[in-house]
Amino acid sequence: MTSVKEWVEEKIKNKYIQYFEYDEFSQIVEIDRGGFGKVSKANLANTGLVALKIIFSKNSNIGEYELIKANYELVKELELLREIDYRQNINRILGITKDSEYYILVLEYANEGNLRDYLKKKFTSLKWNDKIQMALDITNGLKFLHSKDIIHRDLHSHNILVNNGKLLIADFGSFKKLTEVTTSKNWMVEYIDPQRFRHVDYKINIKSDIYSLGVLLWEISSGRPPFSNCSQDTRNKLYHLIKDGHREESIKGTPLKYQRLYHECWDGEPKSRPDIEEVHEILCQLNTEKLGPEKNWYTDWLEKSIAEEFITYYEYSEFKNPQTIGKGSFGNVTRANWKNTDKYFALKSFNDDKTTLKEIINEIKLQKKVDFHENILRFYGITITKKAEYALVLEYADSGTLKTYLQHHFNELGWDDKYQFALQLASAVACIHECDIIHCDLHADNVFVHEKKLKLADFGLSRKIAASSNLKVFGVIPYIDPKRLSDQQNYKLNKKSDVYSVGVLMWQISSGYHPYPSYDNNYDVSLAISIINGRREEVIEGTPAEYSKLYTKCWKYEPDERPNMQDVVLILKALISPEQNDTKFDDIYKEENILLEKYKSSSKSSEGIEDINKSLSVGSVDFATLNNIESGSNSSMQYQVSVARSNFFEKKSSYKLY
């Protein structure tokens, strides 16, 4: 075994380590002492304060074996310190010196002591941005070590130093290359990988450092050492409690993503813990988020709702066999089993920008109100993915969307099946209308099929009636209330707007086709204009007359000419079971016509399109383009728009009107 003296002298000679004469140091004061030595602070000429680490002192009463071990540990520490020198968040080695008897490490001095003492003094003044940066400092240092296949083995708050607010990983005597690791030594029990308690010969690994990091993240969030509030009796049993899965309680006010991160880090099973890159990525996300007051309100609402059990929280680790089944601008949809059951859930992840959070919270609130209806997709709760993204936990629809279902199964459907689909859809929409909710975005990709039952979904754009006045439209063109297309600036979406969309969906159920298939989903301004002018799809041959009469009433241009959803439900029930239902179609339509006449006598005629200048999402008409056309960029299209405005109420459209 190479002695300290031989190794150091060779490295000094080769200028691998800088050597300082001992008389260059002044004002030497001891600041810490341990089993194998002590640490002092000193003033180094032309440098300032440094730390001097003596592995063992002249007065140490240690045996020969311990002396040899200390000798070996110092050599290894010097080698590793040189390998990782000049890295942020690592306590730097500056060089070496020698007193009359021993070589001494010269290290970067941490002017605010160790993390444990720092938290005692400063915790009350720390904000969450500070805490997350502290967690990121430790993670940065550990990430570099792991990239070099080095594990620390002894991470705890005494071995994390603080210099000018920046955290540094220290105490490199315990560091080991992965190839050199055998078993562990006795450490601070609160930070030890529980696998060590279960298996005496357990080989410490990178995931052991992750466990310790998780405990440190909790300590940063709480300001106190782990289990420091426990009774002495509990502390005496801590070894067994930790082995059996006992952990510290989350601190109130801790960001939910941060909580879930350290919970994953201190998981009892090493394979369930994230790697250091994942931890780093999540903390970087948290660190860079600009949480303004409004966004804070949304995240606070989510976390409070989970804490008060208004929303059920599911641990992401409980979901097995995840499989991505859909993607969108909001995030991904994943199918997964829950625990070891055969039951599937759909996990709808979403970004946590302000706009998305607002829509998601709206969706949660409204779905909670109507969650009882069998034709509304069930909302079960929320989880946080490994990428630190929130995800809604929803009922899984085994047959996908209505659009895809009709594409693959339409030929298997008889009219009884189509009636049932239409009734289920109408029943779900009637239910939300009874709760004074309008959906605002009804189309075949927002209706799902599960076990041959329709499920209404995607309430992100839905609104309580009173809140719908300034709603932007994001739906696809064929399903949008034409009154909205003609006057997006002033026309307020309402229950009859949903009725229009239901009419189009009823036609789609009868035909199996997507509306206006010649456009191949590339809807443009011309389609919007033609719909405003009265264009509708042709009735499919073989469609029962009362069914076609119903959906064509639903898609009338004037909202007051459309039936309400309760009447649609009654008519569909009568179509399905005429002998058990005394509903008379003519009575319903007669009542609708009386209301229509009252409307016509009291209302002014429409002025047509006035100011269409908003853009819709993908699959929708670009109203910004229409605005440019109207400004004169295309004289032909400008003329078409002008004709649409002036002639809609003066001449019959060339398209079929219903």
Binding residue ranges for ATP: 348
Pairing between strand 463-464 and 453-456?
A: unpaired
HEC letters along 355-400: HHHHHHHHHHHHHHHHCCCCCECCEEEEEECCCCCEEEEEECCCCC
534 φ, ψ to 5°?
A: 110, 5
End-to-end CA distance of the chain: 96
Q: Do residues 208 and 151 touch, judged by C-beta distance below 8 A?
A: yes
Report how far residue 59's alpha carbon sits from residue 68's, in angstroms, rounded to the nearest whole number. Answer: 16
Enclosing H/E stretch for 516: none
Residues facing residue 345 across a β-bridge? 336, 395
All residues at 6 or more sequence positions from 431 whose CB lies less than 8 Å from its CB, including other chains? 370, 373, 375, 376
- Binding site, by residue number, is 348
Report how far residue 169's alpha carbon sits from residue 136's, in angstroms, rounded to the nearest whole number. Answer: 12
Q: Do residues 330 and 351 touch, judged by C-beta distance below 8 A?
A: yes
Report how far residue 617's alpha carbon sits from residue 628's, in angstroms, rounded to the nearest whole number. Answer: 18
Q: Do residues 203 and 184 touch, judged by C-beta distance below 8 A?
A: no
Please state, as a whole number, how many other Cβ atoms lie within 10 Å of the Cβ of residue 512. 16
Report how far residue 32's alpha carbon sits from residue 99's, in angstroms, rounded to the nearest whole number. Answer: 18
Report how far residue 639's alpha carbon sits from residue 531's, in angstroms, rounded to the nearest whole number. Answer: 17
> What is the DSSP secondary-structure string of 19-61?
B--GGGEEEEEEEEEETTEEEEEEEETTTEEEEEEESS-TT--
121-147 residues labelled b (16+ CB within 10 A) or e (exposed):
eeeeebeeeebbbbbbbbbbbbbbbbe
Q: Do residues 477 and 615 touch, judged by C-beta distance below 8 A?
A: no
Report how far residue 327's alpha carbon sits from residue 344's, in angstroms, rounded to the nearest whole number. Answer: 18
